[in-house]
Structure 1
Amino acid sequence: MRASPILNQRLLEFLNTGVLLLDAELTIIYMNPAAEVLLEVSGKRGVGAPFFELAAESDADEKSMREAVITGHSYTKREARIQLHNQQHITLDYSVSPIAHPETRLPTLLVELQGRDRLLRISREEQLIAKQETTRSLVRGLAHEIKNPLGGIRGAAQLLARELPSLDLKEYTNIIIEEADRLRDLVDRLLGPRNIPKQEPVNIHEVLERVCQLIEVEATGQIDIRRDYDPSIPEMAGDKGQLIQALLNICRNAMQAMLENPNPLERPMLTIRTRTVRQFTIGQNRHRLVAQVDVIDNGPGIPEGIRENLFYPMVSGRADGSGLGLSISQSIINQINGIIEFTSVPQHTVFSIFLPLEAL
C-alpha cells in the first residue's frame, strides 16, 4: 500500500534529522521541525529564503551544491562549520541528494542535516573526565610514595634536634622539618578535598555571593563585579563549603589574570552569570535540569599552549601560579556529577560550571 503525501510529510516532522528541500536556485521550499531547530529559524521565515543566507559556508560549498543540481551526483560533508543568520556557529554533517520534485518533477536537492556540536561536546567531556580520573589516580600513588619518606625524614630530624648541643645547629634541623611540612602540605593540596561531600540543600546564589565578597576584599576595589543571576534556579544537593572553594578558585584566577595583565582600554570586569539548561548531557549522563554558572573576565585569555592540559595539576598560565586551583575545582565539581568547561579569546574568557539540579 502506497503512503499518502500527507503521511510522508508527517513522518518527516517526527525525524530528529533535519530535512530540507531546495530548488535549483538553492532556495528552501520545505524544512522539517528538526531543521528549524538546527538552523534556529522558523519555517515561516526559512521557506522561501536562500539556503546560504540562513547557513553561510564557503563559496566552494555553494558551488558544490549547484553542481549537484546539474550533474545529479550526491555527496556528504562531515563536520562542516556553519555560520547561521544570527552569527552563531554550529557544526553539521550534511548529505546532499539530487531528486525530482515529487509533484512538479523539477530538479531539487534533498539536504539531510545532523548536528554535531552535542556529540563533539559529549566526546570532549568524556575525555576530560577520563583525564581527571587518570590524574587523580596518578597523584594518589605519587602522594603515597612521597609522604612515607617525608614522615621518616621529619621524624629523624626531630630526633637529631634533641641530640644536638648547639642552638645554631638546630636551625638546620628546623629547616628540614619546615621543608618536609611544606612538601606534605603541597601533596595534600594536590590530592584535593579528602572529605566526602555533604549532600545538603544549597542555594547556588548564596555560594556565589560569598565568593563575590571574598574577591571584592582581595581585589581592593581594582575590579568591577557584575552579577547576572537567574532567580528561578532551585536549590541543589551539594557541599556548600566545597562549592565555595571550587568557584573561588576560578574567580580568583580570573581576578589575578586581569590585574597582572590589565586591558589598557577597559577596566577589569568580572561577570558572574547563572542560567538553567534543560535536557543537558554531562559525560554519558543526561540530566533533566542543570544550573550553568558562567565566570567571565576581560583579561588576556588563556595561552594556547596550556589549554589542552589546563585542568592538570601544576599547569598554570601565571609565572607564580601553583597550577592547583583549577584541578581542585574540577575534582570538587566532578564529585557532584558536574563539569567545568571553558572558552577563551583575548579580553573574553568564560569558565562554565554545569551542576545537575536533581530533585531534593
Structure 2
Amino acid sequence: MNDLPSAEQIFAGLPDVLLIIDEHHKIAKVNPVAESFVGQSARHLIGTHIAEQIQFQDNRLVKALVDRDANLAARRVPVSVKGREAGLVNFDIHAVPTDQRWRIVSIAPLPAGGPVVEKLSGEQDQFSVRAPDILGHEIKNPLAAIKGAAQLLDRSLDEEQRSLTNMIKVEVERIASLLDRMQSLSTKQPAKVQAVNVHSLIDRARQAIETAYNGDLKISDRFDPSLPEVLVDPDAMMQVLTNLLSNAVDATRNMDCRDIQVITRYSFGAAFSVHGSDQMVRLPVEIIVKDNGPGVSKELEQEIFSPFVSTKTDGQGLGLALVRKLMNDMNGRVRYERAGDAKDTQFILFLPVAG
C-alpha cells in the first residue's frame, strides 16, 4: 500500500489546469500545470482573486468565477491570463461536493487547430458528431483507472483525507455521465416514428415523476380529447416529456404552492420552416408543460437550448439541448416562453399529425 500515490500526488499529476478557490473567490491551491499556464508560482498565486488571473470574454463565464453557487461547463471558449490572450480552452467550475465553500476551476487548453468535427446544417451546427464519440472512447478508460486508484487509496487514508478521494470518485462519475449525454447529442440515427396517442405517453411520463415523490406531487392536466394521433418516436418522446416535467419539478421545488400543468391543444395555424428551403411544414398538435417557477433569466433565454447552459447549480446544461435534438429528429419543434402575465413559464412542443 505504501507504493500507492497520495491524494496530493494525484492532484499534482492531473494534466489539466486546476485551481481551488475559497468562498471569497481567492485562490487557495493550484497544481503545477496551473502554475505553468498562468506563468506564476503557487506562492504568488495563492491569496489572489481568481478574476485577477483568469478572464473570459463571455459575461456568463465572468459571472461564474465570482458566483458561489455557479456550477458551469463551457467548451472551446477564449480565455485571457492577466490580460494576455491564451487561446481556446474547455472550462469547468463547480463546488466541492463534500464542502460547498470551496470550488474547483478546471481549464483544459486546446490545440490551436482544434478537434476534427463534422459540420451539420441549420440548428445542428453546434453539435460535434465525431468529437463526443472520440472523447467517450479515449477518456472513459483513464477515468476508470483514476476511480480505481482512488478506491485503492481509500484503504490507507484517514477519514479527513478520504474526503479527497471521495471527491475524485464523485467527479469521475460526473464526467462519465456527461460523456454519455454528449454522445446522445451526437447520435445521427433517424427517429423511428409511428402513430401514437400522445395522451398515453403524457400519462406514463407523469406517473413516473409522481411515483418518485410518493404522492407528495401532483401534476395537473388539461387535455383536448379530440386530438388526432401524432407521428413520433415513443421512446424519444417519453424522454422529452420526462426531461421537461423533471425540470418543472426542480423549478418549483421551493414554491409554497407549486403548480405544474400539462396542456394539449390543436392549433390550425402552427407552421414552421424546413431548414435549408422555403418549404413550410404544419405541426398542429401542441403539448405545453407549464409551471409557476421563477423561469429563466433574461440573459439565458436566447441560449436555453444550447449545450452546457443551465439554470441549475448542479446542472450540466444538456437536458434541454437533448430535448431540442430529439424533437428535431422527429420533425417537431420546441419553444420556451413566458406565459400570460409572465409569472409562469412554459415549454411548447409542436408535433406532426400521423396519416
| Normalised-by-shorter TM-score class | 0.5 to 0.7
Distance 1:134 1:271 in 2: 33
Larger CA Rg, structure 1 vs 2: 1
* Displacement of 1:253: 0.6
SS at match of 1:278: coil
Q: Identify unmatched segments of 5+ residues in structure 2.
A: 1-119
Contact 1:222 1:268 in 2 (8 A): no
Name the amino acid aligned to 1:250: L
Contact 1:289 1:358 in 2 (8 A): no
Report the equivalent of 2:285: 291
Given the alignment, which residue of 226, 243, 247 partners 2:241? 247
Judging changes above 3 Å, is the alpha-carbon distance between structure 1 residues 355 and 157 closer, same or farther for their aligned structure 2 residues?
Answer: same
Distance 1:216 1:160 in 2: 39
Contact 2:194 2:231 in 1 (8 A): yes
Contact 2:272 2:282 in 1 (8 A): no
Distance 1:177 1:221 in 2: 33
* Displacement of 1:147: 2.7
Distance 1:158 1:299 in 2: 37
Judging changes above 3 Å, is the alpha-carbon distance between structure 1 residues 316 and 131 closer, same or farther for their aligned structure 2 residues?
Answer: farther
Report the equivalent of 2:142: 153
Given the alignment, which residue of 184, 203, 217 partners 2:176? 184
SS at match of 1:226: strand
Per-residue CA deviations over 1:275-324 (Å, capped at 9, x if unaligned) read 11225322334334521111111111211111110001221112122222
Q: Identify unmatched segments of 5+ residues in structure 1.
A: 1-128
Distance 2:177 2:305 in 1: 20
Contact 2:283 2:332 in 1 (8 A): no
SS at match of 1:323: coil
Distance 2:217 2:144 in 1: 46
Contact 2:193 2:330 in 1 (8 A): no
Contact 1:153 1:180 in 2 (8 A): no
Judging changes above 3 Å, is the alpha-carbon distance between structure 1 residues 159 and 331 closer, same or farther for their aligned structure 2 residues?
Answer: closer
Judging changes above 3 Å, is the alpha-carbon distance between structure 1 residues 269 and 174 closer, same or farther for their aligned structure 2 residues?
Answer: closer
Given the alignment, which residue of 270, 276, 291 partners 2:266? 276
* Displacement of 1:180: 5.2
Judging changes above 3 Å, is the alpha-carbon distance between structure 1 residues 159 and 316 closer, same or farther for their aligned structure 2 residues?
Answer: closer
Judging changes above 3 Å, is the alpha-carbon distance between structure 1 residues 253 and 155 closer, same or farther for their aligned structure 2 residues?
Answer: closer
* Displacement of 1:221: 4.1
Please, what is the CA RMSD of the aligned residues?
3.5
Q: TM-score, normalised by structure 2?
A: 0.54
* Displacement of 1:146: 2.5
Name the amino acid aligned to 1:280: A
Report the equivalent of 2:192: 198
Contact 1:211 1:244 in 2 (8 A): yes
Judging changes above 3 Å, is the alpha-carbon distance between structure 1 residues 250 and 154 closer, same or farther for their aligned structure 2 residues?
Answer: closer
Compare the two structures and name the one with the higher helix fraction.
1
Name the amino acid aligned to 1:198: K
Q: TM-score, normalised by structure 1?
A: 0.53
Judging changes above 3 Å, is the alpha-carbon distance between structure 1 residues 225 and 178 closer, same or farther for their aligned structure 2 residues?
Answer: closer
| Structure 1 residues 1-360: aligned runs within 5 Å | 132-137=123-128, 140-151=129-140, 153=142, 168=156, 182-192=174-184, 194=187, 196-260=190-254, 262=255, 264=256, 267-284=257-274, 285-288=279-282, 290-344=284-338, 346-359=342-355
Distance 2:314 2:144 in 1: 31
Judging changes above 3 Å, is the alpha-carbon distance between structure 1 residues 159 and 294 closer, same or farther for their aligned structure 2 residues?
Answer: closer
Judging changes above 3 Å, is the alpha-carbon distance between structure 1 residues 331 and 356 closer, same or farther for their aligned structure 2 residues?
Answer: same
* Displacement of 1:152: 5.0
Distance 1:225 1:152 in 2: 41
Judging changes above 3 Å, is the alpha-carbon distance between structure 1 residues 221 and 337 closer, same or farther for their aligned structure 2 residues?
Answer: same
Q: Which moved more, 1:218-227 or 1:233-242?
A: 218-227
